[in-house]
A and B are shown apart, each in its own frame.
Chain A
Amino acid sequence: MLKFIVKRLFWMIPSLFAVSFLAFVLIQLPPGDFVTTYIATLASSNEVIDQNTAAQLRERFGLDQPMLFQYLKWIWGIISRGDFGMSFEWQQPVSGLIWERMALTLVLALASLIATWAIALPIGVYSAVKKYSIGDYAFTAFTFFGLSIPSFLLALVLMYVAAVEFGADVGGLFSQEYETASWSIGKMYDLLTHIWLPVAILAVSSTASLIRVMRANMLDELPKPYVTTARAKGLSEFRLLVKYPLRIALNPFISTIAWLLPNLISGSVVVAIVLNLPTAAPLLLQSLMAQDMYLAGAFVLLICALTLIGSLISDILLALVDPRIRLE
């Protein structure tokens, strides 16, 4: 078991490097750089910067060096000092800008994950056990609907309903008085009263796909001989259901973290932008538009790293609960 975890952790290293390189290359892709964008912004307000100043700016930000060198410098800063570089646009260290937003991103993703599981598990089991019942059809209809509606559209519709029917603004994660306040019980509570909407929106599509996964898993397990064995022992239907097929169908369910988390994070990006949540997404979009490369790079890197860690956790969990993986 320990060997398995160590091996799995070892595999994380190349993945993390690949992700960081990918993030850096992506940010480097656009033609021109921050200085070009900066000059263009200034030019629109009739300020002109001469070539010398531009060159000085480039030198200050290290933009005149070869890309690989810039990458190595960047990654070394992260590993050795947790220094993600400077945000050109905000004129302050990236690490000062990202952590709270990343934390809120994580909170949102985890809350959605838990909500998704809590809803999808019982419904998936019910749908499989009562196959072709009215309930099963109703849930199946819901899953197809949930899979078909883009999360941003759902967010827009809910915002519209809230605004028109209730006159409420449902954007953001905090009320105005808490927005800039430091953390307190009150702020936590305020977060809870706001976070349910984005969580619900995100949970709709992921719940839909997870219900289908769970239903299929259960339908695979239900006709297996060990279920008949358990029945022949005299166990009640409910008890045998929970102890055997459900327990075994849970294993593939756990491995869904590996793809559910990336999906949730992807979805949360769009929803966060629509609802204007103070998570990583709106700032990421803004920094991408402005070619604020270190800031955007840090976000892409951290978000990808988050999902990689998610798949690591799901693999370890899977090994913990499945003796076939643990002992082979």
Chain B
Amino acid sequence: MVDVTITNDRPDRVAVASQWQLIWWAFKRHKLAMAAMVVTVAMYIVAIFPGFFAINDPILQNARTTFYPPQRVHLIDTTNGFEIGLHYYPTKLTRDPETLAAIYVEDKAQKKVPIQFFGRGYTYTVLGLFESNIHLLASSDPSKPLFLFGADRLGRDVYSRTVQGAQVSLSIGLVGVILSLLLGIILGGISGYYGGRIDFVLQRVIDFVLSLPTIPIWLAMAAALPQGWPATLQYMMITIILSFTGWAQLARVVRGRFLSLRTEEFVAAARLDGVSEGRIIFRHMLPSFSSHVIASVTLAVPAMILAETSLSFLGLGLQPPTISWGVLLREAQNIRSIATAPWLFMPGLAVVVAVMALNLFGDGLRDAADPYNK
């Protein structure tokens, strides 16, 4: 029996609720998925405007701040009475008497440096359209920079680099999935709609692609990319490489949906109504599985992000000076680096948070995707 699972307190609203409305109500009930959606959206906003959220220029090297540790940020200042406001203190460099390793100590003797909201900082371009130097957080004293997540081997700000890396890493997942989806919808749609011999052959191809181990294939493909290519071309090639195997999963989903919809009575009824094939596909079938496809896509994005990160980490994906989370994690490849600067793992934390949020979000979507069943 097909019936609506949503029982709303106001049946009159349910009666006129479209599919998306019903899905949204079902999704809203899933608190964790809602939270994940908020995190996901926030991360993508950061990815669109990384310059605004960054503090220091992510490519600025500084020999004096090599492996500079993360700084503490204070909210309440009690040195002169009671003041509230984000601030930090400059640090003093000392050395461990035995190992001579650098130790940075907060120097409260110096004047505190307030942190400004919407302050001025380095100049960046927004989506390549216009320039700006306004940042969400800015240090009021550029000569004593703030390192929220510390600095790397070349003294670059890990926090700002992580924020910048979100742009490439999060978008590569999305672009890769959209590319896979196009392939998947075309091939899966053909397979499911026409059935028969075409379906049989495409099914075998899908099975074959799915049974391949992805990483060695990607490695071999990525190894073919010339090292000297410009960043954008590299980026495009990596998404194509990731889509090379990613389409099969989506094609399988699309095919399955098409096959089951083809036998639905309302599709037969539409055909008898004189509805053209095009309108059957776009008006009847596509709306019926678009929610499922969206859920599958949301679940495929994190896999793509993980793939890009792994490839770049191994040195066969994106190359510096492009900043992506995988590229940043290469800095953490060396056991000696991470032993001295464990904050180099911070981009990894960003990966985990992004992937987890997308997984939870997609999971909630998938559960809510079919409001008419059971």
B is a partner of A: yes
Chain A residues near B (Cβ < 8 Å): 11, 15, 18-19, 22-23, 26-27, 29-31, 144-145, 147-153, 156-157, 159-160, 163-164, 258-259, 261-263, 265-267, 269-270, 273-274, 284-285, 288-289, 291, 296, 299-300, 303-304, 306-308, 310-311
Chain B residues near A (Cβ < 8 Å): 204, 207-208, 210-217, 219-221, 223-224, 226, 302, 306, 309-310, 313-314, 316, 329, 332-333, 335, 338-339, 342, 345, 348, 351-353, 355-356, 359-360
Task: Check B345 against A270 for contact (C-beta < 8 Å).
Answer: no
Chain A residues whose C-beta falls within 8 Å of the C-beta of B335 in the assembled complex: 159-160, 163
List 6 additional contacts besides A150-B313, A152-B313, A263-B213; criterion CB under 8 Å: A148-B355, A160-B342, A258-B211, A266-B216, A288-B316, A311-B211
In the assembled complex, 19 residue pairs joining A and B whose CB atoms fall closer than 8 Å, in A order, are A29-B220, A31-B226, A144-B356, A145-B356, A147-B355, A148-B302, A150-B310, A153-B348, A156-B329, A265-B213, A270-B313, A270-B314, A285-B219, A288-B316, A291-B223, A300-B220, A304-B216, A304-B217, A311-B207
Contacts A258-B210, A303-B216, A304-B213 given; does A153 touch B329 at CB 8 Å? yes
Q: How far is the CA of A285 from the CA of B302 in the complex (A)?
A: 24
Q: Which of A26, A30, A289, A311 contacts B217 (CB 8 A)?
A: A26
Chain B residues whose C-beta falls within 8 Å of the C-beta of A29 in the assembled complex: 220-221, 223-224
Contacts A150-B310, A266-B216 given; does A26 touch B211 at CB 8 Å? no
Chain B residues whose C-beta falls within 8 Å of the C-beta of A269 in the assembled complex: 213, 215-216, 219
Chain A residues whose C-beta falls within 8 Å of the C-beta of B348 in the assembled complex: 150, 153, 156-157
Shortest A71–chain B CB gap in Å is: 15
Task: Check B345 against A288 for contact (C-beta < 8 Å).
Answer: no
Q: Which of B212, B314, B360 contacts A304 (CB 8 A)?
A: B212
Shortest A161–chain B CB gap in Å is: 10
Q: Which of A160, A261, A265 contacts B339 (CB 8 A)?
A: A160
Task: Check B352 against A153 for contact (C-beta < 8 Å).
Answer: yes
Contacts A153-B329, A156-B338, A270-B314 given; does A148 touch B220 at CB 8 Å? no
With both beta carbons as reference points, the residue of chain B lying nearest to A23 in the complex is identified as B220
Chain A residues whose C-beta falls within 8 Å of the C-beta of B333 in the assembled complex: 156, 274
Task: Check B224 against A30 for contact (C-beta < 8 Å).
Answer: yes
With both beta carbons as reference points, the residue of chain A lying nearest to B360 in the complex is identified as A144
Chain B residues whose C-beta falls within 8 Å of the C-beta of A285 in the assembled complex: 219, 314, 316
Shortest A66–chain B CB gap in Å is: 19
Task: Check B314 against A273 for contact (C-beta < 8 Å).
Answer: yes
Task: Check A18 against B216 for contact (C-beta < 8 Å).
Answer: no
Q: Which of B215, B329, B333, B359 has the most CB of A within 10 A?
A: B215
Q: How far is the CA of A30 from the CA of B348 in the complex (A)?
A: 31
Task: Check B224 against A150 for contact (C-beta < 8 Å).
Answer: no
Chain B residues whose C-beta falls within 8 Å of the C-beta of A151 in the assembled complex: 310
Task: Check B221 against A26 for contact (C-beta < 8 Å).
Answer: yes
Task: Check B216 against A284 for contact (C-beta < 8 Å).
Answer: yes
Task: Check B355 against A266 for contact (C-beta < 8 Å).
Answer: no
Chain B residues whose C-beta falls within 8 Å of the C-beta of A164 in the assembled complex: 339, 342
Q: Which of B217, B226, B355 has the most CB of A within 10 A?
A: B217
A-B pairs, top 5 by smallest CB distance, nearest first, are A29-B224, A266-B215, A148-B356, A288-B223, A26-B220
Q: Which of A31, A152, A300 contacts B216 (CB 8 A)?
A: A300
Shortest A128–chain B CB gap in Å is: 15
Q: How far is the CA of A31 from the CA of B224 in the complex (A)?
A: 7
Chain A residues whose C-beta falls within 8 Å of the C-beta of B316 in the assembled complex: 285, 288
Task: Check B359 against A307 for contact (C-beta < 8 Å).
Answer: no
Task: Check B212 against A19 for contact (C-beta < 8 Å).
Answer: yes
Contacts A284-B219, A285-B314 given; does A156 touch B332 at CB 8 Å? yes
Contacts A150-B351, A296-B220 given; does A308 touch B342 at CB 8 Å? no
Q: How far is the CA of A18 from the CA of B329 in the complex (A)?
A: 35
Q: Which of A18, A153, A307 has the most CB of B within 10 A?
A: A153
Contacts A164-B339, A307-B212 given; does A150 touch B309 at CB 8 Å? yes
Shortest A198–chain B CB gap in Å is: 15
Q: Which of A148, A149, A262, A289 contacts B213 (CB 8 A)?
A: A262
Chain A residues whose C-beta falls within 8 Å of the C-beta of B217 in the assembled complex: 22, 26, 300, 304
Contacts A144-B359, A156-B345 given; does A270 touch B223 at CB 8 Å? no
Shortest A114–chain B CB gap in Å is: 18
Q: Which of B214, B215, B223, B352 contacts A30 (CB 8 A)?
A: B223
Chain B residues whose C-beta falls within 8 Å of the C-beta of A152 in the assembled complex: 310, 313-314, 329
Q: How far is the CA of A91 from the CA of B211 in the complex (A)?
A: 33
Q: How far is the CA of A147 from the CA of B353 in the complex (A)?
A: 11
Q: Which of B215, B221, B352, B355 contacts A270 (CB 8 A)?
A: B215
Task: Check A266 against B213 for contact (C-beta < 8 Å).
Answer: yes
Chain B residues whose C-beta falls within 8 Å of the C-beta of A30 in the assembled complex: 223-224, 226
Task: Check A310 against B342 for contact (C-beta < 8 Å).
Answer: no
Chain A residues whose C-beta falls within 8 Å of the C-beta of B210 in the assembled complex: 258-259, 262
Shortest B266–chain A CB gap in Å is: 25
With both beta carbons as reference points, the residue of chain B lying nearest to A310 in the complex is identified as B211
Q: How far is the CA of A157 from the CA of B212 in the complex (A)?
A: 28
Task: Check B329 against A259 for contact (C-beta < 8 Å).
Answer: no
Q: Which of B212, B226, B302 contacts A262 (CB 8 A)?
A: B212
Q: How far is the CA of A160 from the CA of B335 in the complex (A)?
A: 7
Chain B residues whose C-beta falls within 8 Å of the C-beta of A266 in the assembled complex: 213-216
Shortest B288–chain A CB gap in Å is: 22
Q: Which of B223, B313, B339 has the most CB of A within 10 A?
A: B223
